[in-house]
Structure 1
Amino acid sequence: MSTAPATPAAFFERPTLVGDRVALEPLAATHAADLAEAVAVGDLWQTWYATHIASPDRMPDDIASRLEQHAAGLSTPWAIVDRESQKAVGITTYLNIEPTNRRLEIGSTWLGRSYQRSGINTEAKLLLLGRAFDDLGCIAVEFRTHWHNQQSRAAVARLGAKQDGVLRNHKVWPEGTIRDTVVFSIIDGEWPTVKRSLEQRAAHRS
């Protein structure tokens, strides 16, 4: 079960979270060059369902926008840093933060193609979930993804999250297509088992 709930302000704090392979650092303008380099590999930002990923030239503006949302109490963003290279290779965020209801969403996440399937995502999620359940006292952590993003849906399921349902016609995207959003969650009673599974996967970099 989760610990006692933290103060509402704690949900928006951004301590550096450190694992064996990855560190989650408070997102800052200084990460822009690394992130532009990471996103350029394979033109990651052009993936049609990934509208939250900025192009290399837009990365400074994207970071500024994310920091504005943090200042407004709407999100809590981190840079995903590969400890071996000491480079920022992606972004991850707490969204839909509800301190009163002791829940939040992990989302608006991307990881450079060169670092996918390397174990970095697994360890980053382990760090974020640990903070949510063990430090903040959350009773539920949510994940949302595009119905057609099969890679993301499979990755969330591998974390141990269960599908809650599908929000049909949930969002109208800039080019006019409609997004159906798949909602997953992990609840506090499931966290000990999920944590053990993720620790084993992280140790094998899977």
Structure 2
Amino acid sequence: MMTQELMILEDEYVALKPMHASHIKNLYRAGKDLAIWQWTTTNYCQTLDITKQWVESCIENARLNLQQPFVIVDKTQNEIVGSTSYLNISVKHKSIEIGLPF
């Protein structure tokens, strides 16, 4: 079982912090650059409402232990610059998928 609140991964420049609803506006702001979405099928930051739905979905998937979503924080500017996730976690097969658009 994952412990989302305790999982912070960081070095001197970047921190991966568990995604929370309080990050919605900052993720929306970080995702405004359309170039980010050039090679994806879905723009999760097209509107604030879409970003809210996406973050809530990620948080629910974390609650169900299906996903471990993180925000990416640029520590040099103390600013959220994106997100990533652990997905398709399989203890049995000792495998994990890393990534999520943006």
TM-score, normalised on structure 2? Answer: 0.84
1:105 is the counterpart of 2:89: no
Supply the AA of the counterpart residue of 1:106.
I
* CA apart distance, 1:53: 3.2
Contact in 1 for aligned 2:14/2:72 (Cα 8 Å): yes
Q: 2:44 aligns with which of 37, 53, 57?
A: 53
Q: What does the per-residue CA deviation read over 1:99-137, in whole Å, with 9 as the maximum and x for residues that have no partner?
A: 121111102141xxxxxxxxxxxxxxxxxxxxxxxxxxx
Contact 1:93 1:109 in 2 (8 A): no
Give the CA RMSD over aligned residues: 1.8
By how many angstroms is 1:70 displaced? Answer: 1.0
Question: 4+ runs of 1 displaced by more than 3 Å?
Answer: 42-45
Q: Using a 3 Å threshold, how does the CA distance of structure 1 residues 17 and 48 change in structure 2: closer, same or farther? A: closer
Q: TM-score, normalised by structure 1?
A: 0.44
1:43 CA drift (Å): 5.8
**Residues 28-72 of structure 1: CA deviation (Å, up to 9, x unaligned):** 111111111111123634x25342633242212211010011111
Matches within 5 A, 1:126-141: none
Q: Does 1:35 align with 2:27?
A: yes
Matched letter for residue 95 of structure 1: L
Letter in 1 for 2:67: S
Q: Could you say if the C-alpha distance between residues 41 and 49 of structure 1 is closer, same or farther in structure 2, counting changes exceeding 3 Å?
A: closer
2:68 aligned residue (67, 76, 88): 76
Task: List runs of 5+ in structure 2 lacking aligned partners.
Answer: none
Which structure shows the higher helix fraction? 1
> 2:83 is aligned with what amino acid?
I
- Which has more radius of gyration? 1
What is the number of residues matched between the two proteins?
99
Q: Which aligned pairs between 1:11-26 and structure 2 lie closer than 5 A?
A: 12-14=2-4, 15-26=7-18
Matched letter for residue 31 of structure 2: V
CA contact (8 A) 1:39 1:56 kept: no
Provide the rounded CA distance (Å) in 2 between the counterparts of 1:42 and 1:101. Answer: 37
Which residue type is aligned with residue 97 of structure 2?
E
Q: For structure 1, which runs of at least 5 residues remain unmatched after alignment?
A: 1-8, 111-206
